[in-house]
Amino acid sequence: MERIAINTADIQLDQFLKLSGAVESGGAVKPLLLEGRIRVNGVQETARRKKLTIGDVVALETDDGRMEYQVSQ
């Protein structure tokens, strides 16, 4: 699991995935959500702008496997 540091109290899911390098743009998150490839804390996510806070874990299923990122300070 890769830890991604943020400098704020929270961050939107699309911004976080862009910051982590998992996607090239925030717009690339929408199709992944529609395909059910993103989970936040083990629960399938549907909201692109879901607020994430320190400690949240985002899992992304890709054709190459599963990537996990944790929001940290």
pTM across the whole model? 0.93
Closest-CA residue to 69 (of 47, 38, 46): 38
pLDDT at 24 (0 to 100):
92
Q: Which residue has tokens 């890709």? A: 62
Provide the CA 17 distance to its chain's centre, in angstroms. Answer: 4
Residue ranges per domain, the chain? 2-72
pLDDT at 19 (0 to 100):
96
Give the tokens for residue 49. Answer: 């702008």
CB pairs under 8 A, 24+ apart, for 16-24?
Answer: 16/52, 16/58, 16/69, 16/71, 17/58, 17/60, 17/69, 20/58, 20/69, 22/60, 22/67, 22/69
pLDDT tens-digit readout, 15-68:
999 999 999 998 899 999 999 999 999 999 999 999 999 999 999 998 889 999
The answer to whether domain 2-72 has CATH 2.60.40.10 is: no
pLDDT at 21 (0 to 100):
94
